[in-house]
C-alpha cells in the first residue's frame, strides 16, 4: 500500500486533522488539498522515484505536499526552513531534486538562488481548500509502490558531524508507525500540540501516527515564547505534547508548565536525546494526570526504537526502556557479545523500521548498517531486567588523561540546579590532559547563579576528573534544526572564546570569584 493511503486509511472525513493560525481543517479538507497539489505536481511530468523537496513550515501546505508527493510515488526530501538558503540549495542539488514545493514565506529568497529550469510549486493557501460549492477536485490516481521503494530522503540531525541523507522506505514508515501506535494508544479523540518540525524524524513520526489514528494536530509555529506554548496547550485542550530535551528544559524552567494544570493533557512524549533524570522527574510531576513516555530513536530507524513505560519512570531513572514492538535491541561489546548487566556496550538495532542505508554512500552504509542491523553509536548499560541506560554517544566522550568521561553525567549533575535551563559539557584540546572539560550553561531568566556556584555543585557530586575546568554562561545553546544541542558548534564556540584575549581567561580559584563573574566565563585551577 502507498504510505499516503496507509496514513489516511482510517481518518473520518469530518474530524479535525490540523489546526493552525486560527483555523481548523478537517480530514475531508486535507484530502481535497492533497488532490489540488497532486494536480499541480502531475503536470510536471515527474516519474515515480523522482526526489522532490519540501521547504515550508509545519501546517496544511507541508502536510498536503508530503501526502501528494507520496501518492505520486515520488521521494520526499524535507528541508528545514531554519537552514540558510545556500545550505537548502546545496542539499537539494546533492540529492538531485527535480522539483520543489515551497511555502510562500520561503519562495522569494529561494528563487534568487535556484536554477530557472527547476520547477517550483509555491503555496497558494486560498486555493488549497476549494470552496464547498465548487466541483469536487479530480485527483490523479495513487501510484502503487513496492514496499521497499524509497519514500523519504531524511537528513540526519548532524549534532556531532556532517548530516547525511537517510533512505527511508514505505515499509519503514508503516512498520514504525504501527509499532508506535501499539504502545501509545493514540485515538481519533486526541489533539497533539506540535512544536517539533516535520523535517525532523521525531516531528514527522507525530504526523504519521496522528494521521493514521485520525487524530488532530495543533500546530504551534514558534517556541520563542515558552509561556505561549503552555497557554496554547490549555486553550486548545490538547491531549498530547512531545519534545526534545531542550524543549522540556525551557518549559520546566522558563514557563508555568510545572505549576499550571492542563487537565486535558493525557500523554507526554520525550525523545531526541537523554533528558537529565532531574528534569524527567520534574516533567512527570508537572502534569501528574498525564502519562510520560521517555523514548529513544534515530533517523536511521525511521523514528522510534525503544520506550520506557510511564509506570517505570520513577523506578528506573535514566532508562530509555526496552525495544518497541517489532524491534530487536541489543547492547553488544566490541566482540559482538551481549554485555552483562552493568557493563558498557554499543546499542545495535534491527527490525522492519531500519533504513536500507544512506543515499549514495555505500561505505557509510556498510559501517553503520552492516548486514541490515543499525549501529547506533550510543554506548549503554542494561540492568537485570533488560532495561537500557544510555551512557553517552561515542563521539561525545571526553578523553582526559586516563579517564573516559561521559558528558551526560556532568550535564545531569548540573541540571539538578533549579536555576539551570540547559547545559552542555564538551572536551577541548589540552596539552597536558589531552582534553579538558568545559561547561556551557543557560540560566533561568533572572537567576543569579555564578560560575563558582556551578563548580562547587559539581565538586560535591562528581569525581575530581569530571569537574569542569571552565564554566561559561550563554543566553542559548546552539541548536540544530531539530532543536537538539549541536555539540560540534558548542566546541567551536568554546575554542573561539579561548582564543579571544580576555581578563576572564586567567585561571582563578572559584573561591575568589565575585558577583561580576556570573556573566561570561569562569576558569578554575
Q: What is the pLDDT of residues 363-379, one digit of tens each?
A: 999 999 999 999 998 99
Give the dihedral of Cα atoms 311, 312, 317, 323; nearest 10 deg.
-130
Residue 234: pLDDT band (50, 70, 90) is very high
Residue 132: pLDDT band (50, 70, 90) is low
Domain of residue 467: give its range: 397-523
pLDDT at residue 512, rounded to an integer: 30
What are the pLDDT digits (tens) for 138-187?
Answer: 677 899 999 999 999 999 855 445 668 999 999 999 999 999 999 999 99
Closest CA to 142 of 38, 275, 47: 38
The single residue listed with the C-alpha cell 514557563 is 255
What are the pLDDT digits (tens) for 85-114?
Answer: 988 999 999 999 999 999 999 998 887 788
Retrieve residue 507's grid coordinates. Answer: 585561571
Partners of 357 in the β-ladder: 167
- Looking at residues 198-206, what average pLDDT do you find? 96
Torsion over CA: 377, 380, 385, 387 (sign): negative
DSSP H helices, 255-403, are 277-286, 362-368
What are the pLDDT digits (tens) for 39-77?
Answer: 999 999 999 999 999 999 999 999 999 999 999 999 999
Q: Give a yes or no: residue 66 inside a domain.
A: yes
What are the pLDDT digits (tens) for 4-48?
Answer: 999 999 999 999 999 998 899 999 999 999 999 999 999 999 999
Q: Give a yes or no: residue 515 inside a domain.
A: yes
Q: Give a yes or no: residue 264 inside a domain.
A: no
What are the pLDDT digits (tens) for 435-456?
Answer: 889 999 999 988 989 999 999 9
pLDDT at residue 68, rounded to an integer: 97
Question: 121 pLDDT exceeds 80?
Answer: yes
- Looking at residues 466-479, what average pLDDT do you find? 91
Higher pLDDT, 208 or 483: 208
Q: Give a yes or no: residue 113 inside a domain.
A: yes
Residue 241: pLDDT band (50, 70, 90) is very high
Retrieve residue 276's grid coordinates. Answer: 537529565
Q: What angle do CA 245, 249, 252 make, to 5 degrees?
A: 135
Question: 380 pLDDT exceeds 90?
Answer: yes
Question: 272 pLDDT exceeds 50?
Answer: yes
The domain that holds 68 is classified in CATH as 3.40.50.980
Give me the percent of the chain exceeding a pLDDT of 70.
91
Question: 501 pLDDT exceeds 60?
Answer: no
Question: 256 pLDDT exceeds 60?
Answer: yes
Q: Give a yes or no: residue 37 inside a domain.
A: yes
Higher pLDDT, 465 or 174: 174
pLDDT at residue 515, rounded to an integer: 32
User: What does each C-alpha distance from 391 to 212, 346, 404, 424 come to in angstroms?
Assistant: 34, 10, 11, 15
State how far the Cα of 185 lies from the Cα of 374, in Å rounded to an integer: 27
Residue 403: pLDDT band (50, 70, 90) is confident
pLDDT at residue 270, rounded to an integer: 95
Q: Give a yes or no: residue 382 inside a domain.
A: no
Q: Give a yes or no: residue 133 inside a domain.
A: yes
Range 42-45 contact pairs with CB under 8 angstroms and sequence separation of 24 or more: 42/72, 42/140, 44/98, 44/99, 44/119, 44/121
pTM (2 decimals)? 0.83
The domain that holds 405 is classified in CATH as 3.30.300.30
Question: 432 pLDDT exceeds 80?
Answer: no
Number of domains composing the chain: 2
Q: Give a yes or no: residue 168 inside a domain.
A: no
Residue where a domain terminates, one of 117, 145, 173: 145
Retrieve residue 240's grid coordinates. Answer: 498530547
pLDDT at residue 510, rounded to an integer: 33
Please state whether beta strands 120-122 and 75-78 pair in parallel, antiparallel, or not at all (unpaired): unpaired
Q: Collect all residues with Cβ–Cβ distance below 8 Å to 129 and sequence separation of at least 6.
A: 25, 29, 32, 33, 60
- Looking at residues 184-202, what average pLDDT do you find? 96
Residue where a domain terminates, one of 114, 129, 145: 145
The neighbour count for residue 111, using CB atoms within 10 Å, is 14
Residue where a domain terminates, one of 145, 171, 204: 145
Range of lowest pLDDT (80-84, 112-116, 422-426):
112-116
- Calculate the average pLDDT of the chain: 88
Range of lowest pLDDT (192-206, 305-319, 386-400, 462-476):
386-400
H-helix or E-strand containing 150?
Answer: strand 150-155
pLDDT at residue 375, rounded to an integer: 95
Residue 275: pLDDT band (50, 70, 90) is confident
pLDDT at residue 137, rounded to an integer: 59
Give me the percent of the chain exceeding a pLDDT of 90.
68
pLDDT at residue 519, rounded to an integer: 35
What are the pLDDT digits (tens) for 291-331?
Answer: 999 999 999 999 999 999 999 998 999 999 999 999 999 99
Q: Collect all residues with Cβ–Cβ distance below 8 Å to 398 and sequence separation of at least 6.
A: 404, 405, 407, 425, 426, 427, 435, 437
State how far the Cα of 426 lies from the Cα of 494, in Å rounded to an integer: 9
Question: 517 pLDDT exceeds 50?
Answer: no
Whether 279 contacts 245, CB under 8 Å? yes
Amino acid at each position: 500500500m502507498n504510505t499516503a493511503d496507509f496514513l489516511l486509511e482510517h481518518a473520518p472525513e469530518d474530524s479535525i486533522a490540523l489546526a493552525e493560525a486560527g483555523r481548523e481543517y478537517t480530514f475531508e479538507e486535507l484530502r481535497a488539498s492533497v488532490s489540488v497539489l497532486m494536480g499541480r505536481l502531475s503536470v510536471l511530468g515527474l516519474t515515480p522515484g523522482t526526489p522532490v523537496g519540501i521547504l515550508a513550515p509545519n501546517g496544511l501546505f507541508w502536510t498536503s505536499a508530503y501526502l501528494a508527493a507520496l501518492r505520486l510515488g515520488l521521494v520526499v526530501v524535507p528541508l528545514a526552513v531554519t537552514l540558510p538558503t545556500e545550505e537548502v540549495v546545496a542539499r537539494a542539488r546533492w540529492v538531485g531534486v527535480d522539483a520543489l514545493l515551497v511555502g510562500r514565506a520561503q519562495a522569494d529568497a529561494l528563487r534568487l538562488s535556484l536554477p530557472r529550469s527547476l520547477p517550483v510549486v509555491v503555496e497558494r493557501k486560498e486555493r488549497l481548500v476549494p470552496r464547498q460549492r465548487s466541483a469536487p477536485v479530480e485527483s490523479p490516481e495513487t501510484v502503487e509502490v513496492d514496499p521497499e521503494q524509497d519514500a523519504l530522503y531524511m537528513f540526519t540531525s548532524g549534532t556531532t558531524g556532517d548530516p547525511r541523507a537517510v533512505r527511508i522506505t514505505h515499509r519503514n514508515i508503516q512498520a514504525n508507525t504501527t509499532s508506535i501506535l501499539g504502545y501509545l494508544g493514540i485515538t481519533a479523540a486526541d489533539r497533539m500540540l506540535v512544536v517539533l518540525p516535520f523535517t525532523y524524524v521525531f516531528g514527522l513520526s507525530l504526523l504519521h501516527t496522528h494521521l493514521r489514528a485520525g487524530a488532530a494536530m495543533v500546530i504551534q509555529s514558534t517556541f520563542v515564547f515558552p509561556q505561549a506554548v503552555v497557554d496554547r496547550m490549555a486553550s486548545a485542550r490538547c491531549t498530547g505534547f512531545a519534545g526534545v530535551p531542550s524543549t522540556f528544559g525551557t518549559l520546566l524552567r522558563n514557563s508555568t508548565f510545572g505549576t499550571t494544570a492542563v487537565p486535558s493533557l493525557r500523554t507526554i512524549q520525550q525523545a531526541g536525546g537523554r533528558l537529565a533524570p532531574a528534569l524527567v522527574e520534574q516533567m512527570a510531576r508537572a502534569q501528574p494526570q498525564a502519562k510520560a513516555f521517555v523514548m529513544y530513536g534515530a533517523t536511521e530507524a525511521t523514528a522510534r526504537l525503544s520506550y520506557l513505560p510511564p509506570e517505570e519512570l520513577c523506578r528506573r531513572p535514566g532508562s530509555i526502556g526496552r525495544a518497541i514492538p517489532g524491534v530487536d535491541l541489543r547492547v553488544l561489546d566490541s566482540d559482538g557479545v551481549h554485555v552483562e548487566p552493568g557493563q558498557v556496550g554499543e546499542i545495535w538495532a534491527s527490525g522492519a523500521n531500519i533504513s536500507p542505508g544512506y543515499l549514495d554512500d555505500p561505505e557509510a552504509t556498510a559501517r553503520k548498517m552492516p548486514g541490515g542491523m543499525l549501529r547506533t553509536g550510543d554506548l549503554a548499560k542494561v540492568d537485570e531486567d533488560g532495561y537500557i541506560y544510555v551512557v553517552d554517544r561515542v563521539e561525545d566522550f571526553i578523553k582526559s588523561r586516563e579517564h573516559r568521561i561521559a558528558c551526560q553525567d556532568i550535564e545531569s549533575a548540573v541540571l539538578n540546579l533549579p536555576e539551570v535551563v540547559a547545559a552542555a559539557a564538551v572536551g577541548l584540546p589540552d596539552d597536558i590532559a589531552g582534553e579538558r572539560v568545559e561547561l556551557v550553561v543557560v540560566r533561568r531568566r533572572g537567576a543569579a547563579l555564578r560560575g563558582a556556584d556551578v563548580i562547587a555543585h559539581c565538586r560535591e557530586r562528581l569525581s575530581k576528573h569530571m569537574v569542569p575546568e571552565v564554566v561559561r554562561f550563554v543566553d542559548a545553546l546552539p541548536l540544530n534544526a531539530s532543536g537538539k544541542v549541536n555539540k560540534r558548534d558548542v566546541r567551536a564556540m568554546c575554542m573561539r572564546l579561548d582564543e579571544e584575549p580576555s581578563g576572564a581567561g586567567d585561571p582563578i580559584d572559584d573561591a575568589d570569584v565575585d558577583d561580576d563573574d556570573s556573566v561570561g566565563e569562569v576558569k578554575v585551577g
